[in-house]
C-alpha cells in the first residue's frame, strides 16, 4: 500500500531542500479538514536560489547544449518515470486536492502524455530560410527565452505543471515552478520524476510558497525572462503589472464562465450527460467548467428535469472512496461558493436542487446545484463560482443564445449541442471562446490548443501552437563576401 510522506521538500538546483527560514506549510485533506502533510515553505531567499540555479543551467547550456533529439529522449524518460510514480502521484493528489483517486491517477497519465507529446516535437521546431537575393543568406532560429517562471493553481496541479514544463524543456528553457500552497504534493513527485530521468541540475526547480510572498517574488525577479500563469484574473492582473516593469512575455491562462447551448434538435441525453460531467467533475473546480447552460425554450423543462435527476443521483464523499462529487479545496472556497448561491436566490433565481453546503460531515462539501430562473445579468450568471453550480437559462432564437453566451467578461470555452452541422459551424464561428466543443464537453486533448479570449487570458497551451509561446524568433541576416568596390 502506497503511503504518503509526512514532510516534503522543495527541489532547487538538483537538490531537495528545506525553506531558507526553516518554515513549513501544513497541507490539509479537504475531505476531512485534517492535516495531511507538511511542505517546506519557500520565501524570497528560496525564490532567488531557484532562479539563480535555473539561470546557471541556462547559461551553461544544461538543456540548450543537448541536441534536440537528446532533449526529446530526456523527456520520454521523464514520462516513463511519471508512469512509475503514478500510484503515488494519484494518491497524493487525491488526498491534498480532494479529487477522485481514479481521476488523480488519470492526471498522472495526462502529465506523462505532455512529455511524450512535446518530447516528440522537441526535434521538429524548425526555423525558416528567407530569400534575400544574391549575396545574402537569411534564416530564423526559434530561440528559448531563458528562465521561465511558472505559477500553478491547485485544481489540476500535476497536469497543469506538466503542460507548461514540457513545452519549456522541449524548447530549452530552464524552469522555476511555484506550486500551489493548497495542493503541492503531486508536483514534488513530478520533480522526482525529472530527477530520476536525469534532468540537468537547475533545469527544473520546484518551490512551494504562498502567492503573496514566494509567488510575487518569483514573477518580479530580475532574472526571470518569461512567465506562465494559470490561475485567477485578479492574480493574473498583478503578475502582468510585475511583468510590465521588465517587459517580459507572459502566457495567461485565467478563469471562465463557459456556456453550453442546447438547440431543440440536440440529443438531449448526450447534452445532459455531457453537461453533468462538465459542471460536477472535480466539484466544478475547473476553469473550463460548463457553468452556464442555455436551453431552447421548447426543451428547457425536460433538460432541467433530467439534470436535476442526475444531480440527485450523485454520491457525495471523499475522492479516495471514488464518490461522484468530491469536496471543494478549502473552507474559504466552500464559503465563497455557498455565498454565491445565497446571492443567486436573493436575486430571484430558483435552486432546482442544491444551493447549500453539505452539513453533518467533516470536509468542504457543496451540494450539486442547479439554478433556473436565472437572468443573464445576475452575478451567478456572470462571475466564475468555481464550484458545482450550474445556471440554466432559456432562449428562443440562436442569435439570442450566442449573445447570452458571449455576454460575460470571460471567453475560455463554449459548447454546442445539435445534430445540425451547419448550425454547429454557424455557432462556433460566433462564439467568443478559445475552444468550442460540439456535442461533448471537454472534447479534445493534449493535441488541441487551449486558452482564453477576453479576461480568460491569452496565449495557447496544448497542441503544437503552445511551443510558440516558449520561443522567440531570432533572425540571422548574412551578407556573403564583399561586394565589388568594398575593401
Binding site for ligand NAD (CB under 6 A): 151-155, 160, 178, 180-181, 211-212, 215-216, 219, 230-232, 235, 238-239, 253-256, 287, 384, 386, 412, 452
DSSP track, 3-56: ---SEE-EEETTEEE--TT--EEEEEETTTTEEEEEEEPP-HHHHHHHHHHHHH
What's the burial of 106, exposed, middle or buried (CB within 10 Å: 0-12/13-18/19+)? middle
Which triple of cell numbers denotes residue 100?
477522485
Q: Calculate the alpha carbon distances from 36 to 7, 93, 95, 108 in Å.
A: 10, 11, 8, 20
The span from the CA of 305 to the CA of 370, in Å, is 10
* Least distance (Å) between residue 90 CB and ligand NAD: 19
Residue 26 CB, shortest distance to ligand NAD, in Å, is: 15
Q: Check if 253 is active-site.
A: yes
Nearest residue (CB) to ligand NAD, 211 versus 415: 211
Q: Which residue, among 437, 442, 447, has the nearest Cα to 113 in the 3D structure?
A: 447
Cα dist from 322 to 19, 22, 104, 106, 332, whole Å: 35, 36, 11, 13, 24
The smaller minimum CB distance to ligand NAD, of residues 119 and 231, is found at: 231
Identity of the residue, 90 or 215, whose beta carbon is nearer to ligand NAD in the bound complex: 215
> Among residues 194, 287, 384, 461, which one is catalytic?
287
> Exposed, middle or buried, 422 (CB in 10 Å: 0-12/13-18/19+)?
exposed
Nearer to ligand NAD, 174 or 235 (CB): 235
Closest residue to ligand NAD in the complex (CB):
211
Q: How far is the CB of 23 from ligand NAD (least distance, A)?
A: 16
Nearer to ligand NAD, 258 or 418 (CB): 258
Q: Distance between CA 321 and CA 100 in Å, rounded?
A: 7
Q: How far is the CB of 288 from ligand NAD (least distance, A)?
A: 7
Contact present, 404 and 294 (Cβ < 8 Å): yes
Helix (H, G, I), strand (E, B) or coil at 418: coil
Up-side HSE of residue 191: CA atoms within 13 Å toward CB? 29
CB of 156 to ligand NAD, least distance (A): 6
Identified catalytic residue from 253, 338, 384, 461: 253
CB of 234 to ligand NAD, least distance (A): 7
Angstrom distance (rounded) from CA 47 to CA 50: 5
155 touches 97 (CB < 8 A): yes
Is the Cβ of residue 176 or residue 304 nearer to ligand NAD in the bound state? 176
Closer CB to ligand NAD, 317 or 451, in the complex: 451
Q: Closest CB to ligand NAD among 195 and 213?
A: 213
- Return the ∠ at Cα 122 (arms to 117 and 125), rounded to 5°: 115
Q: Give φ, ψ of 121 to 5 degrees.
A: -100, -10
User: How buried is residue 104: exposed, middle or buried, by Cβ count under 10 Å (0-12/13-18/19+)?
Assistant: buried
Query: How far is Cα 73 from Cα 123, in angstroms, rounded to an integer?
Result: 10
Residues labelled catalytic: 253, 287
Amino acid at each position: 500500500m502506497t503511503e504518503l510522506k509526512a514532510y516534503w521538500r522543495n527541489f532547487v538546483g538538483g537538490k531537495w531542500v528545506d525553506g531558507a527560514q526553516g518554515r513549513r506549510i501544513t497541507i490539509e485533506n479537504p475531505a476531512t479538514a485534517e492535516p495531511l502533510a507538511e511542505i517546506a515553505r519557500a520565501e524570497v531567499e528560496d525564490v532567488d536560489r531557484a532562479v539563480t540555479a535555473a539561470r546557471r543551467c541556462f547559461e551553461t547550456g544544461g538543456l540548450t547544449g543537448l541536441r534536440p533529439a537528446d532533449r526529446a529522449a530526456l523527456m520520454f524518460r521523464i514520462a516513463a518515470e511519471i508512469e512509475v510514480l503514478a500510484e503515488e502521484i494519484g494518491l497524493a493528489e487525491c488526498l491534498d486536492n480532494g479529487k477522485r483517486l481514479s481521476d488523480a491517477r488519470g492526471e498522472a497519465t495526462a502529465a506523462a502524455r505532455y512529455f511524450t507529446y512535446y518530447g516528440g516535437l522537441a526535434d521538429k521546431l524548425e526555423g525558416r530560410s528567407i530569400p534575400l537575393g544574391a549575396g545574402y543568406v537569411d534564416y530564423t532560429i526559434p530561440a528559448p527565452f531563458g528562465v521561465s517562471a511558472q505559477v500553478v493553481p491547485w485544481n489540476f496541479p500535476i497536469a497543469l505543471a506538466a503542460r507548461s514544463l514540457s513545452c519549456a524543456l522541449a524548447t530549452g528553457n530552464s524552469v522555476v515552478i511555484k506550486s500551489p500552497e493548497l495542493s503541492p504534493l503531486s508536483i514534488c513527485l513530478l520533480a522526482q520524476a525529472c530527477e530520476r530521468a536525469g534532468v540537468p541540475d537547475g533545469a527544473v526547480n520546484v518551490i512551494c510558497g504562498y502567492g503573496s510572498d514566494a509567488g510575487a517574488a518569483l514573477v518580479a525577479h530580475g532574472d526571470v525572462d518569461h512567465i506562465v500563469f494559470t490561475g485567477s484574473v485578479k492574480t493574473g492582473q498583478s503578475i502582468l503589472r510585475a511583468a510590465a516593469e521588465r517587459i517580459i512575455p507572459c502566457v495567461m491562462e485565467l478563469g471562465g464562465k463557459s456556456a453550453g447551448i442546447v438547440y431543440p434538435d440536440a440529443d438531449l441525453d448526450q447534452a445532459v450527460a455531457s453537461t453533468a460531467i462538465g459542471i460536477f467533475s472535480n466539484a466544478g473546480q475547473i476553469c473550463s467548467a460548463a457553468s452556464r447552460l442555455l436551453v431552447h425554450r421548447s426543451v428547457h423543462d425536460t433538460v432541467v428535469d433530467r439534470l436535476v435527476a442526475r444531480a440527485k443521483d450523485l454520491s457525495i464523499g471523499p475522492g479516495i472512496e471514488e464518490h461522484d462529487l468530491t469536496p471543494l479545496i478549502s473552507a474559504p472556497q466552500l464559503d465563497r461558493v455557498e455565498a454565491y448561491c445565497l446571492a443567486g436566490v436573493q436575486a430571484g433565481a430558483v435552486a432546482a436542487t442544491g444551493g447549500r453546503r453539505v452539513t453533518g460531515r467533516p470536509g468542504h462539501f457543496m451540494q450539486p446545484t442547479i439554478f433556473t430562473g436565472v437572468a443573464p445579468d445576475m452575478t451567478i450568471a456572470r462571475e466564475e463560482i468555481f464550484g458545482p453550480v450550474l445556471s440554466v437559462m432559456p432562449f428562443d432564437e440562436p442569435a439570442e443564445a450566442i449573445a447570452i453566451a458571449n455576454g460575460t467578461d470571460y471567453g475560455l470555452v463554449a459548447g454546442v449541442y445539435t445534430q445540425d452541422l451547419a448550425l454547429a459551424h454557424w455557432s462556433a464561428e460566433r462564439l467568443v471562446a478559445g475552444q468550442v466543443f460540439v456535442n461533448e464537453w471537454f472534447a479534445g486533448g493534449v493535441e488541441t490548443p487551449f486558452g482564453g479570449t477576453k479576461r480568460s487570458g491569452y496565449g495557447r497551451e496544448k497542441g503544437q501552437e503552445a511551443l510558440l509561446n516558449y520561443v522567440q524568433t531570432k533572425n540571422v541576416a548574412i551578407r556573403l563576401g564583399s561586394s565589388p568596390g568594398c575593401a
